[in-house]
A and B are shown apart, each in its own frame.
Chain A
Amino acid sequence: MPPLKKPVVLDNDVVSRLYSASALRRALEVWPKLSFRVTERVIEEAEQWRTQGQALLALLRELEAEKTLLVTCIDETSEEEIWTYARLQLEKKLGRGESASIAIACHRGFDIATDDSVATDICKTMNPSVAIFGTGALLNMAVQEGLMTRNEVNAIQYKIRRASKA
C-alpha cells in the first residue's frame, strides 16, 4: 500500500518529537495538503506548555491555516465514535487525546502516527485495519516517496535522539 493513502492522526508524542528536532513543519509540509489531523487535545497541551507552548501553538495554527493539518475532535453526533472513545477512557490506560485520536481513526478510516507502545497495542486490538506508524516510519516514508533526502531525515533523527536520549 502506498504510504499516506489515508489522512493520518498525529498524537502528542509525534508532534513533540518532531518539534524537539525543529522538524515539525518540514516533516509535514512535504506531503499533500490535508494529510494530517491533530486533536484539540494537542492544541490544549501546547497552549498550557509554559516555556515553548506559544511558539508550538503558533506553528500548529500556521500549519492549520496552510491546510497542512486539520484540528479535529470527537464527532458529537457519531454514536460509534463516542462509544469507542468512552470505551478507551474506561480502560484508563490512555490519555484523552490518544483516546480521541484512536476513536477518530477507527471510525473515519484514518491512520495513526504514535510512538507510544501502549497506544499502539490498544489501537491494534481496537481496529486491526488502522495502520499505525511512529515518527521514524513517517520520516522514512518521506524518503521512499522522494519527498525528503536520506541525509535530511538522518539529521532529523539524530536531533530527535539527542533530544530524547533515554
Chain B
Amino acid sequence: MPTNTMTPSAVTVGQALKHARAAMGLTLKQVSKSMGTAISTISEIESGKRRISAVELYRFAKLYQRPISFFLEESETSASFAILMRAAGSASVSKETIINFHELCRSYRDLKKLVRAPEMPSPPDYSASRLTALDQAEELAKTERSSLGLNGQPIKDICDLLEGKRGIKIFHLPEDEGRFSGAFTYDEQLGACFLINSHHPERRRTFTVAHEYAHCVAHRNQLAHIDTCPAFEIKNPRERFANAFAAAFLMPRHTVNEVLGQLVFPQKSALTAEVLVHLAMYFGVSFEAMGWRLVSLRRLSLSRWEELSSQQVPSSPTARLLGYCKEEEPPDTVPRQYKYLSYKAYEMKLISFEKLAELLRRNYYELKEEFEQGSREGNE
C-alpha cells in the first residue's frame, strides 16, 4: 500500500472482509475457489496477519458486491445489517437489495458529516417493556401520535413525518411484491433505518412504514427485522402487535368513530363498501387495512368484512369514482432530507455532479436534463 494517509491496518481490512464474506454466506473454500487463492492466504488476510494487495482487494470487492472503499473504513461492520444479510439468504429479499440498502444508509450518515448537518432526533425505545398485547399497541400508538403532535388528524406523509421528527431514514427499493414488504434496522452509527418495497402501492407502503415503526420503538432490541407478505392474517405476537400499532397509529379510534358518524346515516344502517373506500382514502390506507381496523374496533362484523372483501371493491366503478384507483408514480428511492443534504453538498462544492447523481441513485444524464430544464425555467 503506497499511501500511508489512507491505509487502515491490515486487521481492519481483514475484519471487514471477514464480515462481508459471512454476510454473503460464503465459506473460505468457496471464496478460495472464486478467487483462485489458497484458503490459508484468505484466512491470513482476514485475521490481519497478511497485508492485502490492492489487486486482491479489488477482486474481493467485486466478489462481495461492495465498493472498494467499504473495506478501508474503520468500524464498517454492523450487527444489524449482518442480521439482515443472514435473513436475506433464506427470506423474501435479495442480498443485493440489503447491500444496496446498507450503502444508502451509510451514504446518509456520510452526507450528514460532510455538510455538518445538525443531529436528528431519535425514535423512543420501549423495547425494555416487552410489549406484545394488542391493547398495549393501541396505547403506544396513542402516546406516539400525541408526542408527534398529531392529535386526531390523518397522517399526510408518514415518511416525511418520521424522518423529520424521529430521524428515521426510510428508503424504497424494488423487490418481489408477493414476498417482501419491509425491513427495519437499528444501528448505533446509522440510527434507525427502514427499507420499504417500492413495488407496493402507496397505501400499502404507508401501512408498512407504520408497521416498521412499531418494531423500531417496541422491538428495538431485535436490531433488525424483515417483514414478509401477507401483511394482516399472522399469528406471531410481535407481528400482530406491529399491525395493531400501525392500524391505531394511522387510523386512531376516536377519529375513525367520528368520521364514521358523519358517513353512516341513518345510524346503525349497514356499513357499505363506499363508506369503507371513503374512510380508506381519508386515512390514506388500503381498503384492506381499513376493513381490518373496523373489525378490530367492532364497527364491522367479521362476516360482513369477509363479504365486502370478496367483492373486489377497490377496483369497482364506485372506488374509481371516489379516486381510490389513481395511477401512482413509483416512490423516490431516497428520502427528502437525504436529497436536500445531497443537493446542499453539491451546492457547497463538496461533491461533484456525478457524485450527486450517484447519491440520488439517478442517471447522470437524466439528472443533468432536470437541472438544465430547471435553470431554463428559472431564467424565463
Tell me whether chain A's interface is mostly helix, strand or loop, or mixed.
helix
Q: Is the CB of A118 within 8 A of B351?
A: yes
| Option from A76, A80, A93 in Cβ contact (under 8 Å) with B58 | A76
Q: A45-B365, A96-B358, A118-B350 are in contact. Are A90 and B73 (CB under 8 A)?
A: yes
Q: Is the CB of B350 within 8 A of A93?
A: yes
> Does B353 have its Cβ within 8 Å of any Cβ on chain A?
yes
Assembly CA distance A52 to B365 (angstroms): 9
> Does A119 have its Cβ within 8 Å of any Cβ on chain B?
yes
Q: Is the CB of A83 within 8 A of B352?
A: no
> Does A128 have its Cβ within 8 Å of any Cβ on chain B?
no
- Which of B53, B57, B351 has most A Cβ within 10 Å? B351
> Does A50 have its Cβ within 8 Å of any Cβ on chain B?
yes
Binary contact readout B346-380 vs A (1 if CB under 8 angstroms, 0 otherwise): 00011111110110000111101101100110010
For residue A107, give the distance in angstroms from its CB to the closest CB of chain B.
11
| Option from A45, A79, A92 in Cβ contact (under 8 Å) with B364 | A45
> Does B38 have its Cβ within 8 Å of any Cβ on chain A?
no
Q: Is the CB of A116 within 8 A of B354?
A: yes
Q: A117 contacts which chain B residues (CB < 8 A)?
A: 349
| Option from B53, B57, B73, B364 in Cβ contact (under 8 Å) with A16 | B364
Interface size class of A (residues with CB under 8 A): 35 or more
Q: B351 contacts which chain A residues (CB < 8 A)?
A: 92-94, 118
Assembly CA distance A12 to B352 (angstroms): 11
Q: A89-B69, A117-B349, A118-B350 are in contact. Are A79 and B53 (CB under 8 A)?
A: yes
Q: Is the CB of B352 within 8 A of A82?
A: no
> Does A95 have its Cβ within 8 Å of any Cβ on chain B?
yes
For residue B71, give the distance in angstroms from its CB to the closest CB of chain A.
9
| Option from A20, A83, A118, A166 in Cβ contact (under 8 Å) with B375 | A166
> Does B261 have its Cβ within 8 Å of any Cβ on chain A?
no
For residue B287, give the distance in angstroms from its CB to the closest CB of chain A.
33
Q: Is the CB of A85 within 8 A of B68?
A: yes
Q: Is the CB of B69 within 8 A of A90?
A: yes
Assembly CA distance A94 to B352 (angstroms): 5
Q: Scan residues 53-75 of chain A and give those whose CB is less than 8 A from a CB of chain B.
A: 53, 56, 74
Q: Is the CB of A51 within 8 A of B369?
A: yes
Q: Is the CB of B354 within 8 A of A11?
A: yes
> Does B6 have its Cβ within 8 Å of any Cβ on chain A?
yes
Q: A53 contacts which chain B residues (CB < 8 A)?
A: 363, 365
Q: Is the CB of B68 within 8 A of A86?
A: yes
> Does B42 have its Cβ within 8 Å of any Cβ on chain A?
no
Nearest A residue (CB) for B348: A118
For residue B16, give the distance in angstroms from its CB to the closest CB of chain A.
13
> Does A13 have its Cβ within 8 Å of any Cβ on chain B?
yes
> Does B150 have its Cβ within 8 Å of any Cβ on chain A?
no
Q: A16-B364, A83-B3, A86-B68 are in contact. Are A95 and B352 (CB under 8 A)?
A: yes
Q: A97-B354, A116-B354, A119-B352 are in contact. Are A86 and B375 (CB under 8 A)?
A: no
> Does B270 have its Cβ within 8 Å of any Cβ on chain A?
no
Q: Is the CB of B110 within 8 A of A92?
A: yes
Assembly CA distance A116 to B114 (angstroms): 19
For residue B85, give the distance in angstroms from its CB to the closest CB of chain A.
22
Assembly CA distance A77 to B375 (angstroms): 43
Which residues of A are at the interface with B, using a C-beta cutoff of 8 A?
11-13, 16, 20, 45-46, 48-53, 56, 74, 76-80, 82-83, 85-87, 89-90, 92-98, 116-119, 163-166
20 A-B residue pairings within 8 Å (CB atoms)? A12-B365, A13-B354, A50-B366, A51-B366, A52-B365, A77-B55, A78-B54, A79-B53, A80-B2, A85-B68, A86-B6, A86-B68, A86-B72, A89-B67, A92-B69, A93-B350, A95-B357, A117-B349, A165-B375, A166-B375
